[in-house]
Amino acid sequence: MIPWHEQDLFWETMASKMFTPAAWQQAAMEVDQLLALASPPAGAHVLDLCCGPGRHSLELARRGYIVKGVHRTAKYLESARAKAAAEGLTNAEFVSGDMRTYREPMSFDLVLNLFTSFGYFDNQSEDAAVMRNIYSSLRPGGKMVLDVLGKEVLAAKFRPRDWHEQDGVMFLEERVLSRDWGWIEDRWIRIDGGERTEFTLSHRLYSAAELRTLVVTAGF
């Protein structure tokens, strides 16, 4: 069975849930926060790993950074390229790649992995490989910003079920924790009129201490 994160149908069907107009509007504020946190030099080379349709990549390019967005979903990449072309953002490039194998040794001042785009793989050694790829791709003194929902945060606000309506489309979620809080399965259901689509997402949950061990082992 093809894992959920390798299914184009999932990314295309659920794009409207994940990348709402509000989410696009928030990108500028989120980039403000990223830049305040990481302080890359002007004109820095930035890798947006698992860039989606380019929310943050495009905003960084607008601010003069040289950006490469990497994702596996062709339609997302096509959309990001079209937006960059429409704005004349020649400093933004979008390429197809798998974070388990993608690396460009000593090429970037900043690597971003945002929006819980980490921990998808059942074999934890693949998470370690991703982290080594990121470390290898950074220039000396470069930085990584990893944005995930940690165990500590999830424990404070965990809800087993949720639903919301968006532009007449219903989205339902059901969450199940397993492996001693080490794994979560998230069942997403989309109901649009008489059409019902369902996917089950799953990914590893890390605590701060576990993430620290992972990144230090990779070389950080």
Over the stretch 97-156, which tens digit does the pLDDT of each residue have? Answer: 999 999 999 999 999 999 999 999 999 999 999 999 999 999 999 999 999 999 999 999
Look up residue 134 and give its amino acid.
Answer: I
Percent of the chain with pLDDT over 90: 99
Residue-level pLDDT at 153? 95
Residue-level pLDDT at 6? 95
Q: Sheet of 108-113: strands edge to edge? A: 92-96, 66-71, 45-49, 108-113, 138-146
| Beta-strand runs (E) in the chain | 45-49, 66-71, 92-96, 108-113, 138-146, 161-166, 169-178, 183-192, 195-204
Under 8 Å between Cβ of 10 and 4: yes
Q: Of 65, 64, 68, 97, whose CA–CA distance to 80 is shortest?
A: 68
- pLDDT digit string, tens, across residues 160-217: 999 999 999 999 999 999 999 999 999 999 999 989 999 999 999 999 999 999 999 9
Q: Is the pLDDT of residue 1 over 90?
A: no
Measured between alpha carbons, how far is 201 from 188 in angstroms, rounded to an integer? 7
Is the pTM higher than 0.85? The answer reads yes
Q: In degrees, to the nearest 5, what angle opens at C-alpha 112 toward C-alphas 106 and 115?
A: 155
**Dihedral (CA of 61, 120, 215, 176) sign:** positive
Measured between alpha carbons, how far is 85 from 91 in angstroms, rounded to an integer? 10
- pLDDT digit string, tens, across residues 19-36: 999 999 999 999 999 999
3-state secondary structure of 167: coil
Place of tokens 């495009």: 58
Measured between alpha carbons, how far is 178 from 184 in angstroms, rounded to an integer? 6
Q: Is the pLDDT of residue 66 over 90?
A: yes
Question: What's the whole-number average pLDDT of the chain?
Answer: 97
Q: Is the pLDDT of residue 47 over 90?
A: yes
Q: Is the pLDDT of residue 95 over 90?
A: yes
